Each structure stands twice: as structure tokens, then as C-alpha cells.
Amino acid sequence: MSLKNDTQNYSQTFSREHLNYLKDIKRQKILILSSRIILLVAFFLIWEVAAKFKWIDPFITSQPSRMWDTFLSLHQNGSLYKHIGITISETIIGFVSGTLLGSLMAILLWWSDFLSKVLDPYLVVLNSLPKVALGPIIIVFFGAGYSAIITMALLVSLFTTIIGVFSGLRQVDKEKITLLKTFGANKKQILTKVVIPASFPTIMNALRINVGLSWVGVIMGEFLVSKAGLGYLIVYGSQVFQLDTVMTSVIILAIAAALMYIGVSYLEKMVLEKRI
């Protein structure tokens, strides 16, 4: 008997048609990438030009060159990194704690069928409740500081994590669990040997969604209470009508969020590949 995938050492001589096919794929890729770049550059260029010729009012819309100046001055007085650092650390803490707590509670629900049935309607209600409505309560409970912001980030991602991970744990093939039972496995062994590893892809997927939700929670929290961070910069900038600060912060926020998303996606890919 031979290996199923013995295509590893396929021949290196291709037909002309195949070479053309490969070339087409490459051309398509380059076209997509260059279009993306052009779109981005054009967007900022038109913005800049429109503001310069006063087609739009740069006092309200800001303009890329002014945003760059703002960026540089924030960079020079060092406050840029303080704000970015605070927001990112709040996000990471919110993300990690939301994921850990959510996964832990999902495992608890998996463990006790009774508990999961009892709590089901509450989870549904809490999940559909817009968490920003809890903002004022959180501020009263935790004070107007970091803990309130992190609590906000945690709450935003917690219930989706519980529901997502729990359904992942429950979708594990019943027969695989039967197999373990035939060996006399106890509940803890079923959980660690099959249920968690088998639902790993679902859990990683929940993680990826959580990154975005944590950002939402943190920025919402900063809008409400903070004295520092990118969300604070945005709110403060709009209050004193410095649209340059607002726009710059939004762009930095977009880049930071994208980087974190890419990081988690990369982590997901690595972990899943390792287990094939």
C-alpha cells in the first residue's frame, strides 16, 4: 500500500498551456495588489487636493498633510506612544481576559448539561443587550478609570465567546466520545483528549472575532471615561474641534487594529497547521 498523497515529487516539466496558466495567475495577483495600492493613494491624494483648493473645508474634514504634521508633533512630544500603548494594552487585557473567562465558562456549561439549560435564556438576553448601555453602571461600579474600560472590553466579547466556544464544544462527533467511553474514559479525559482538541478550529475562530470586539469595547470605554488613549484623543479632538487629531487617531487606530487581527490570524494558522 502506498501513501495517499504521493504527489510530492511531481515532474517539473510543464506544458506550454500550464505555463500560460501560471502566468495568468501571477498577472492577476499583481493586478489586484496594484489596484489596491492605487485605490489607497488616490483616496488620500484626492482628499489632499480637494482640501488644498478649498473644494472641501479642511477645518471640518482635515487633510492628509495636516494629519501628517499632527502625527509628527504627537511623535515629537512623545504623547503618541503613550496613547497607543494605553489603548493597545487595554485591548490586549480585555481580549485575553474575555477569551479566557469566556472559554472557561463555555467548558463549565459543557460539563453540566443542567447548568447550560438553566442559563441558556440569560445568555441569549445578555448577548443581545448592547453592552454600551451598561457603560454608566460600569463607571459607577469601577470608577472612571482603566478598570472600567477593561471591564467594558471584557463584557463586549464575553458572551459571544461563551456562546461560540460552547457550540464548538457541543459539535464534537458523538461517536468520538463513545470511542473514548469504550476505553473507560472519565468526563475530564473526554474533555481534554477529544472535545477541546476537536473544537480547536471553532475556538480559534471565536478568538479572531474577539479581537475586533475588544477594540469596540475599549474605544467605547475610552469615549466614556478616559484621560488617555486613542479613543480619548478622538473624543477630545472633536470637543475642541481639532479634526486633525481626530482623523490622525482614527487612522492609527485602523492600522493598530489591522495589525492585531493579522497577528491573531497568523497565530491561528500556525496552531492549526501544526496539528494538520
By CB under 8 A, tell whether 181 contacts another protein. Answer: yes
Half-sphere exposure at residue 23, Cβ-oriented, CA atoms within 13 angstroms: 7
- Which of 39, 114, 183, 270 forms a contact with another protein (CB under 8 A)? 183
Identity of the residue, 121 or 184, whose beta carbon is nearer to another protein in the bound complex: 184
Cα separation, 109 vs 103, in Å, equals 10
Task: Decide whether 19 or 272 has the Cβ nearer to another protein.
Answer: 272
- Neighbouring CB atoms inside 10 A of 200's CB total 14
Residue 178 near another protein by CB under 8 A: yes
CB of 270 to another protein, least distance (A): 14
Considering only residues 3 to 32 of the shown chain, the ones binding another protein according to CB under 8 A are 3-5
In single-letter form, the type of residue at position 6 comes to D
Rounded to whole angstroms, the Cα distance separating 210 from 267 reads: 14
Does residue 77 belong to the site contacting another protein (CB under 8 A)? no
Give the nearest distance from C-beta 76 to another protein in angstroms. Answer: 51
Of the candidate residues 85, 136, 143, 197, the single one contacting another protein (CB under 8 A): 197
The rounded distance, in Å, linking the Cα atoms of 110 and 166 is 7
Which positions ≥6 away from 198 have C-beta within 8 Å?
Answer: 172, 173, 176
Q: Which residues bind another protein (CB under 8 A)?
A: 1-5, 173, 175-176, 178-185, 189, 193-194, 197-198, 200, 275-276
